[in-house]
Structure 1
């Protein structure tokens, strides 16, 4: 019984002996073949006349952390068929050892290759006492056949980036089983159409708002119903709000100016303004001013070339910018300043009060101040201390300014205007998720300052409620309100929805979404980054298809559904 358990295949092999080599820490098992009749692999005739013997070395799964190696006595036979090209052949072991390892070890190594790739898999295999090379693991993975999946009833489409902004691919998901159906090397409409024609039977196609996928679904599977993803609809709304605030960027500055005037009680005096202008710039500020000057020069050059009638693609090539940047420059009414978010914390914050105290006591040496705060636990660089104190030592009323800044921070007042992206997020976010200071100091002033912004906020919130709660009856009314609002960005959003009306209507009417597709795209990106970008498309496709089977929770759900149907 013990020999039967140890043998890779008891039908073809018989155990002879088992030895343990303590020096090499290896278990060596010897076996011999037991078949009485052997078939020639070329002509198929049986042979029983033995020519000679030789030893095959096979790797097997480890035992107690030790390597296991099989030495199998294999026979060579004479082929008695005179017309056969093969005179002498070796008996095969197809069921237990088709190559230099047993089927069990090959299956385990193949799973390691699918999960970890080549080099990482080779390191783990060595720890498991199955030492092999990364090339061998990749060969085992390439020999494996991908699972054969039939055309799904509900198909999910989404793109992923081979190289962001340059090359893209397409991922196809079975929305019912959460299984990857296929991976396409690009996101062209013709490629998707060809796949849909080769795999008929798709009834529902869930996709994003990309026009190429809409055209491919319409031409490749005209019988299928298209469903737009609700998450991408919300992204379209946020993009429209961001374009609106890019057009009204002056209002963002006005709101901050009014807030500062209300909190300070009056505008800064002329002496304070002269002191601020006379204050020397820090090296960081000088670099920031130089970068701003370069950006403004590029902006002016783009506008000049655009007025001369040059296309955006030609301008991007000539100036050396991305086409999207050129498009944004042309659409902007004027040169836009970069608005950076406020720094929430600094390594120097816990020590600023101490630095102010020492400056008030007359300590002029910044080096000595750095040494003192390092004794208190400061681990930052010297540069941030020098940059911070350079301006403070030149200001006679630095302490008063610092206290004002602390009071503003405590009230949640932003010293910088919101960027278009930040303001758009405030308008599209659920107000229940915002903090009270975000509502009263940022959101409400924008709504009150401009009537058009107040109307845009109401429409944006109505759109969010309509999408999240799937209020399909509200869609026609919202589209009419957006058209008659006079807000060009919302009118553009409504026009896009009209062009894709059936898919948007289906998104609100059904529960189908692209959530599982987005999750599989995330998994694909993890695999792609794990391969460091060196794997070929076929290797990535095999790994993505291999590990996308039905999860345990999904199996339980399908079993419950099948039991309910039987009842």
Structure 2
């Protein structure tokens, strides 16, 4: 077997001769000398012949055997023998190892550039610290270079907003749809900024955007000949929102059907429940007060924005209290309302409790057999609330609007048999949701057919 030189391991294909290696617990230091062909003058291109001097450079390299690697390399300085050249001396650069003015090797710089591209500053710095790469977040961000912006806009231009800091500062990203590459990034999402960019970069025939009016006005102003279309993601997102809104509006139909199914078979109530009254919680009182204040101001003719400023609320909150009934708002404010993995089993727990099974342990084992995967603590809390009357008894197990929307938007055949059965029950309970389901599935197929 042929012995492998250390140069072939540390510097494959690089003209460097290793003279010494020093290994410590935290670092590997390698001393070497460049031994390649003399380079040419970077100004005039004259080949170097006479060596002026040598000096040592410190270059950080990629880690080896879990330790950081530092290279002390002796490089040559040459005379430039062309009299017309203003440069008298120049230093050689070892190809694929060293670069002018840089203290990191070419390979290490590529590694850190990839880390900065995918992770950014602080997360990239934390990863580099684990990988034994000596760098900081400022240096990582300095390795990122902005792509060259073409003089003309792509034929199919995609435009959408993104958040530098959510809720505070937003920008605009421009994408070439045909090549799936970012073209440019604008510092804000104003119509004037986007219109100015379109004037400087002509050539866009199709502009794919969301429903923001700012981008539409910029297109009409700066590129009136371009065709405006909506992209597939926003079409599906808007379709999903419309279906979910319909499911919210007709939730009462599902509730009536669930109560009718529960009361279809008479049961002997051994331990009758107290009437579901609203516990005197602070959030419930606040909900009633906020509901009355918002509807009083709406009756006086105030706008949503004015009400939000006067009551120090978000406009979405004002719209929710305006469009949602008080009973539904209070239902979400009831104390002890179970969330998460227990919520689908509350109707069954209530039925078994009214049948006389009041042991939390027995009820926990029963719902475990029916698919419950949580701990017994939520079950004990819910049963204790049923005994004291501090939780609202489940009036029937109905799926949430978001879950129904997920069933509708998924491709046919992607649902499990139990989910198909639940969706069928929802369609039978409410004709409006059934119509929304048919329209949503047809629209989904039309949008995704060209994918």
Q: Provide the TM-score with structure 2 as the length reference.
A: 0.69
The yes-or-no answer on 1:91 pairing with 2:91 is: yes
Change (3 A) 1:307 1:50: same
Tell me what 1:192 maps to. 194
Change (3 A) 1:306 1:113: same
Tell me what 1:337 maps to. 329
The yes-or-no answer on 1:57 pairing with 2:55 is: no
Aligned residue for 1:56, secondary structure, equals strand
The yes-or-no answer on 1:314 pairing with 2:306 is: yes
Q: Distance in 2 between the 1:232 and 1:386 partners?
A: 42
Shift of 1:69: 0.3
Q: Distance in 2 between the 1:217 and 1:445 partners?
A: 45
Q: Distance in 1 between the 2:83 and 2:52 partners?
A: 15
Deviations 1:175-201 (A, max 9, x none): 222222233333333333233333222
Shift of 1:19: 1.2
C-alpha contact (below 8 Å) 1:230/1:467 kept by paired residues: no
Change (3 A) 1:193 1:137: same
Shift of 1:110: 1.8
Tell me what 1:202 maps to. 204
1:110 to 66, 88, 113: 113
C-alpha contact (below 8 Å) 1:252/1:446 kept by paired residues: yes
Aligned residue for 1:131, secondary structure, equals coil
Change (3 A) 1:263 1:173: farther
Shift of 1:89: 6.8
Deviations 1:393-448 (A, max 9, x none): 89xxxxxxx9xx9xxxxxxxx616666656666777778745224423x331222x
Q: Distance in 2 between the 1:111 and 1:300 partners?
A: 56
2:262 to 254, 260, 263: 260
Higher relative contact order (CA 8 A, sep 6+): 1
Tell me what 2:444 maps to. 468
Aligned residue for 1:25, secondary structure, equals strand
In the alignment of these two chains, the number of paired residues is 417
Deviations 1:331-387 (A, max 9, x none): 44656435569767449x9xx9xx99xx999x9xx9x99xxxxxxxx9958686355
Q: Distance in 2 between the 1:310 and 1:393 partners?
A: 43
Q: Distance in 1 between the 2:294 and 2:109 partners?
A: 60
C-alpha contact (below 8 Å) 2:124/2:137 kept by paired residues: yes
Shift of 1:326: 1.0
Tell me what 1:435 maps to. 420
Q: Distance in 2 between the 1:116 and 1:428 partners?
A: 32
Change (3 A) 1:416 1:322: farther
Q: Distance in 2 between the 1:231 and 1:420 partners?
A: 20
The yes-or-no answer on 1:415 pairing with 2:381 is: no
C-alpha contact (below 8 Å) 1:167/1:186 kept by paired residues: yes
C-alpha contact (below 8 Å) 2:16/2:36 kept by paired residues: no
Q: Distance in 2 between the 1:94 and 1:16 partners?
A: 12
Tell me what 2:365 maps to. none
Shift of 1:160: 2.9
Q: Distance in 1 between the 2:437 and 2:220 partners?
A: 32
Shift of 1:315: 1.6
Alignment of 1:115-130 (within 5 A): 115-122=118-125, 124-125=127-128, 130=133
Q: From the two aligned structures, give the one with the greater helix fraction.
A: 1
Tell me what 2:182 maps to. 180
C-alpha contact (below 8 Å) 2:154/2:203 kept by paired residues: yes
Deviations 1:38-83 (A, max 9, x none): 57x7x9999999876542222334566662503224448799999x
Q: Distance in 2 between the 1:461 and 1:286 partners?
A: 37
Change (3 A) 1:300 1:34: same
C-alpha contact (below 8 Å) 1:17/1:30 kept by paired residues: yes
Tell me what 1:299 maps to. 291
Tell me what 1:153 maps to. 155
Aligned residue for 2:208, secondary structure, equals strand
Q: Distance in 2 between the 1:304 and 1:159 partners?
A: 36
Change (3 A) 1:428 1:443: farther
Change (3 A) 1:37 1:298: closer
Change (3 A) 1:457 1:212: farther
Change (3 A) 1:44 1:294: same
C-alpha contact (below 8 Å) 2:75/2:91 kept by paired residues: no
Q: Distance in 1 between the 2:406 and 2:131 partners?
A: 50
Change (3 A) 1:112 1:301: same
Aligned residue for 2:157, secondary structure, equals strand
Structure 2 unaligned segments of length 5 or more: list them: 363-372
The yes-or-no answer on 1:385 pairing with 2:380 is: yes
Change (3 A) 1:297 1:30: same
Alignment of 1:139-538 (within 5 A): 139=142, 141-142=143-144, 144-146=145-147, 151-244=153-246, 250-264=252-266, 272=272, 276-277=274-275, 286=279, 289-332=281-324, 336-337=328-329, 345-346=341-342, 380=375, 385=380, 388-389=383-384, 391-392=386-387, 415=396, 433=415, 434-440=419-425, 442-447=426-431, 453=432, 457-458=434-435, 460-461=436-437, 463-470=439-446, 511=450
C-alpha contact (below 8 Å) 1:234/1:464 kept by paired residues: no
C-alpha contact (below 8 Å) 1:152/1:202 kept by paired residues: yes
